[in-house]
Structures are given as C-alpha cells and as structure tokens.
Structure 1
C-alpha cells in the first residue's frame, strides 16, 4: 500500500468493521464492582418496581371524591382512622365516605384510597377529625405499582456503560451478580530511541515517555485492560519480538511511534512481516494524526499511532475507541454543546480536523476559543474542555459561527 493513500475517518472505521468481527465474551462481577463496566446483555425485570401502590408525599390517603371542592373557606371534614407504618401492609382501610389515613412518603397506600393530600393542606382538630383545604385528583401524589419498571420490561439495555445510577436500578431489581463484557486486553508498545521513562532524566535530544501513560488512561476510559510492554528501541527485531509476544497475550496492540516514513520507522515493516493481510490502512485524512496505521495479523488488530502526544490522543479517540467499543458492544452517545466560535480560523481543505477548544460564558451564550498547539505538545488537550470537528472540505470557521463542542 502506498504511503498516504489516505482514507477518511468514516472509511477507516468501515474498513475496521469489515475486517474484524471478534466477540470479546463476558464475565460475571459483583454489583458493587460493576461501575464503569459494559453490560453484556439486556437486564429484564422479573418484577414490578415499585411492587405496590405507594404515596409520593407525607399526607393523608383519601378517596378523591370525598375532597372534591375542598378549599380554605369550606374545608372537607374527614374521619381520621389511623396511620400506615413504613414497611408494613396497612391495617386501616378507606371504606366509608369521609375516611382518611395518614401515610408517610413511600408508605403503602391503604385499600380504598386513590389519592393523597399533602400535609400542608390539612389541619388536625382532634385525634379522629381532620380538615382538608385542598382537593386531590384521582392518582394525585401516588406512585402506582410498576410505574418505574414493569415486569418483563428491559430495564437497562446491553452495551450500556454502568454508572452509579444503573447500579441503583440493578439493586432495586435484586440483581447482585452482573454479566458484563470482558475487558479487552490492549497492548501498549512505545517506540523511539529518544524516549526515556517518565521518571528518568532526559539528556539533550531525549524526551520523557508520555504516550504509554496517556494510552493507559485512555484504554481504562474505554473499559479496556491496558498491558504495558515498555519502551522499545527503533530496531526491527526488537519490535517484532515484542509485537509477537503482545499478539499472543492481548486482544489488540497499539504501537506508539514509528508510523511515519523515516529511516527508523519500522511499524509498517513489522506488521507486514507476519502472515496475514498486514497493513490495511496507512494514512487517514485527519489533523492531527495523518500517518496512522491499522493492520491485521492473526485476526487481531494492530494500531500504529503517531508518536506526537496530541496526535496520538486524537487518533485513539477517533479510531481505537471505535474498535474497543465495538468489541464490548458499547454504543457511545455524544451530545455536543452548542457554542459560538470566538475567532476567524482557517484550515486547509482535504483533512478532517479535531480542534481543541476552551469554553466560556459570554453573557447568555457559550463561546468556544481554540487552544493552539502543535501535535508534538500535550497542553492542547489538558487546557481544553473538548474539541470541535471541522469537516474535511470546510475551509475554516468564521467568528460568531455556531459550532458544536464535544467533551474529551
């Protein structure tokens, strides 16, 4: 394949989808350990939630017809029969006109009641007499059985990344052991003669390792399990041996650096040295991150990402995350913030661009200001709230133009 026979981002994703159809499998985890995991199958409720009709407020359960027309000037006089105790089935019943029963928030509604009057609209005259100064429509202040979740309903869809809120739903349904997608193991191999460990002291011409730790965190965000294979010098045999080991142990491999066409860039040669299709993509029409590689070896995917940290981060977001989500079945839904662009910005046609931006309020509007930085620098992401995507045939953005910002 000729270098920089570039494809679009959408074409790159399509090539990945067409060439890889791997099922990652599942594991069962405890309810308290499933936050951030991807649900493997639909959770179907085996019961109604709530299981009984209950009050949504502190107040008095009544038959709504008995308080029809009640007001402060002409209150309804009611017969107070007793109270509902939390966690117990009501003993008292609404059986005669004018009966009422005190019920706390969440308490079970007594037989015969079809609404609840809030305490603010009541006044006790004595132990058995209550004045109600506000009407209540049928069903008012009541939560019906199954109003939250009905028996047989899909409570949480497969592919959902479980948050504390979904954990709450699972506990309400009595699910303690949750079937989640197995975390895909993703190898991280950083290359470059100029790279030293993050805790090392760089000599002139050397830089600390950023991408290993950057990719580690990004993979964790994608519900993957990062496996670090260390820093590898720009030597064919060393890189091939490391990739060989990573392929035998992991579901996917990421090689950071060596994706361009320099004399020491060996990623393409290593991928093509194995049996299989080899390199599928070398070059994606995106800024930053054009010299990205996607290969296939032994039915496993190998990504060759640019060594420059900003470009590496963008391409992980654009390409690697897409693949990891397809492995786990996660459907990523993004809801951008509508903003007004703060300056005139020109870009070259032909490449889709991911531009980091800061957001700030300008009166009642949100303005987006680009964070300028070369792909070799990392602060473009650390300072930015998110990014805007500029289409490849778009020449730029005008000051005051409405844009959509996606959160990192």
Structure 2
C-alpha cells in the first residue's frame, strides 16, 4: 500500500495555478439574467451620470452670493421666478441678482443657480417672495454633471461577480447585454460499491449518494455548470469510460470517493491509464480531507475528492472553489467574522484543520462554537454557519481566543 506524500493547502493551490491555463470564452447575456455572473472585461461608461445638474433636496435654487450672510434674524428676500417640474427641463433661469426657482429632489438645477437652500430654511412671504433664513456655499445640495460616473470611467472591473447593486449601475448606463465569462463545465462522478442513487432504498451496508448533490449545488452557486455522470461502481473499466466521457465534455472533473489507498480505490489507476496524465498531488496536510488527488489529464484538472461528505465539502471549499474562481478571474474577496472561541481545543501539529462552527451572540459579542461530527456524517456540517482554519503549526485553541470564521457559501 502506497503512503501519501502530502503537501500543504497553499502548496496544492500553487501547484494548480502553475500547471493549468484555461481560456474561458466570452459570452454576452441579457442584463436581466446577469446576476451572479463574472464580468469578462472592464465596463467603461459612455455617458455622465447624472447628465445634468440636479438637486438633492426640496428647496430653492439660488446664486449663493444672493444669500450670503442670511439668517433667521436677517433673512435674504428673493424673487420667485417659478418652479422646476420633475423629469422636465428647467423652464426658468436665474438671470438677475435676487432671483430663485423652486426645485424638487432630483429636479434639474436652472442656469444661473449654483446652490439649493433646503425648504426648511425658507419661508414663503407671498406668491412672488421667498425669505431665505440660511446662507449657503457654491455647490450645496447639488449633484454636478458626472459626480456619480464620468465618461470613460471604469465602473465595474473585470472579474467582478455581479450583485443586484452592479446590475442597477449597469441599467443606469443603458447596458442591456453584458460580457461575462462562459461558465466552466464541471463533471461530477461519485464512486463506490456502497453508494446508491437517492431514489433507491439502501440495503444494509449501503448509503444514498450525498456528494453528487452537495457538489452539484456548490458548483451552481459558484457560477459554474455541473454535469452529473451518476454513481459508478468500483470497476476499473466502467470508471475509466466515464472519466473519458467527462473529459471530452467538461473543463474539469471531480471524482468523489476512491481517492484513498485501499484495495478497491481505482481513481489513481484510472488517471494513470490516460496517455497525457500526471498526478500532481496525492494527499494534502489537512483535516478533514487528507486523501485528495489533484491530477492533470489531457490538459484538464481532475480532482479525486474524499468520499466522506464533510471531507468532500471542505476540500471543495478550499481547493476546487478557489480554482473555479481563478478560471473566471473572480476578484471577489471573503471577509471573515472575528469571534471568540468557546472552548479549549487540542489538535495534532503538522496539518491544517478546518473546523465547522456555529455562531452565538452573547452580550453583543460573537462566539464561535465548534461542531464535532465524524467525517462520514453531513448533519453537523449542514448546521454550521462556517468554519475556522487552524494553522498546521498550532496545537490548539484556548477558550476566549480570537478566531476568524469563514462563512460557508
């Protein structure tokens, strides 16, 4: 039986980055379907936003020189020329000293005005006379042309994952078709004589397929396209033909189960059977998830993931997801939550550990409480808010120690 030659998580990630170069094509999609997609190229504005000067308050457009020194005890008296209607050009302008125009929030600032006095600081003496009780400076309560976005400005950078907020910005600029990266196709193969489909009733010694659906939904959430090749028994020829089919149809392949060194674990043997193949990593110094394979077959990444659901989920989160993000130049960053650890916890040195936790709010402070679950079980993982990473050179954590919690996405 071969022994694992384990590498660190960082080393495994570096090996992936050094050995693979994918060129995902660009595709244009409708703005309404762009949520969650990754921008293919910088989005550059062709217009100013706003394209006209507009008021940020309800009030009176004035020339600030006409209200210099104005106060409640000595208000400035201005002549009201009219009002600006929403969505229309300003039909009046300030041509002479002492004139003003009423402007609603968002209304166009008339020519000759350089500021707006909030209506709360004014008083209507009669239909033609307004008392201004407060001085203002040039530009007060006015959004200038291009204040939000200017022509030729990069408004959304390549690699940005589109949220509803970026969608709103794109709509304000008139974009209807958006350039995004094609979703990478990810093949999923579950292996094991003990695994049966979710519609089957397991016999004693058998379990329903968890990892296919765990991986499938994770891949969807990460804006890739999963392809399910079903459950494959621990038979060399059957697994090889399935992997061969997946390699022809997908950008990468995930094989769940069969990555260890047991007698019936076929993944390494199948990978080696392809002419253009190389096992880059067999074993990562991590708990859970040590028996992980990273290989290059016909220029494509093939991952051998642990069969246990918790281990499979952790390796997907820290290795596969990171790789999918790099394929699409995804520049989004994760920002962990700082918490206090709830107990004293000991771990073995020499490998990183990823520990699922739940968060509790105690006296307005977040407490991270670990979930202890055997690696073959999934319920503990499903209850977790996220996980903490414990460095390989650390022997454990103390109660009350500050930790960073990364959310399971």
TM range (shorter): over 0.9
Q: Does 2:126 align with 1:138?
A: no
Q: Does 2:184 align with 1:159?
A: no
- Aligned positions of 1:4-19 closer than 5 A: 4-19=4-19
Across the two proteins, how many residue pairs are aligned to each other?
Answer: 408
Check conservation: 1:3, 1:283, Cα contact below 8 A.
no
Query: 1:334 aligns to what SS in structure 2?
Result: coil
Deviations 1:151-180 (A, max 9, x none): 111100010011111111111111111110
Q: Which moves more between the two structures, 183-192 or 196-205?
A: 196-205
Q: CA deviation at 1:277?
A: 3.4
Deviations 1:332-385 (A, max 9, x none): 301111111111111111111111111121213211111111211112321111
Deviations 1:12-46 (A, max 9, x none): 01111111011111111001011011000000111
Please name the residue that 1:353 is paired with.
353
Please give the alpha-carbon distance, in whole angstroms, between the structure 1 residues aligned to 2:96 and 2:274. Answer: 85
- Aligned positions of 1:225-264 closer than 5 A: 225-264=225-264
Please name the residue that 1:362 is paired with.
362
Please name the residue that 2:124 is paired with.
124
Please give the alpha-carbon distance, in whole angstroms, between the structure 1 residues aligned to 2:362 and 2:93. Answer: 59
Please name the residue that 2:179 is paired with.
179
Q: Which runs of 5+ in 1 are unaligned?
A: none
Q: Which runs of 4+ in 1 moved over 4 A?
A: none
Q: CA deviation at 1:406?
A: 1.1
- Aligned positions of 1:41-52 closer than 5 A: 41-52=41-52
- Aligned positions of 1:3-402 closer than 5 A: 3-402=3-402
Query: 1:260 aligns to what SS in structure 2?
Result: coil
- Structure 2 length as normaliser, TM-score? 0.97
Please give the alpha-carbon distance, in whole angstroms, between the structure 2 residues aligned to 1:196 and 1:2. Answer: 28
Check conservation: 1:3, 1:282, Cα contact below 8 A.
no
CA spacing shift, 1:3–1:29, aligned 2, 3 Å: farther
Please give the alpha-carbon distance, in whole angstroms, between the structure 1 residues aligned to 2:311 and 2:406. Answer: 17
RMSD after superposition: 1.3
Deviations 1:38-57 (A, max 9, x none): 00000011111111111111
Q: CA deviation at 1:328?
A: 1.0
Query: 1:380 aligns to what SS in structure 2?
Result: helix
Query: 1:281 aligns to what SS in structure 2?
Result: strand
Please give the alpha-carbon distance, in whole angstroms, between the structure 2 residues aligned to 1:284 and 1:4. Answer: 8
Deviations 1:60-98 (A, max 9, x none): 111122222322232222211111122222121112222
Please give the alpha-carbon distance, in whole angstroms, between the structure 2 residues aligned to 1:346 and 1:75. Answer: 73
- Structure 1 length as normaliser, TM-score? 0.98
Query: 2:88 aligns to what SS in structure 1?
Result: coil
CA spacing shift, 1:249–1:75, aligned 2, 3 Å: same
Q: Which runs of 5+ in 2 are unaligned?
A: none
Deviations 1:304-330 (A, max 9, x none): 000111110110011111111111111
Query: 1:333 aligns to what SS in structure 2?
Result: coil
Query: 1:350 aligns to what SS in structure 2?
Result: coil
Check conservation: 2:2, 2:261, Cα contact below 8 A.
no
Q: Which moves more between the two structures, 191-200 or 279-288?
A: 191-200
Please give the alpha-carbon distance, in whole angstroms, between the structure 2 residues aligned to 1:73 and 1:198. Answer: 80
Please give the alpha-carbon distance, in whole angstroms, between the structure 2 residues aligned to 1:73 and 1:370. Answer: 65
Check conservation: 2:271, 2:277, Cα contact below 8 A.
no
CA spacing shift, 1:3–1:96, aligned 2, 3 Å: farther
Check conservation: 2:54, 2:107, Cα contact below 8 A.
yes
CA spacing shift, 1:137–1:264, aligned 2, 3 Å: same
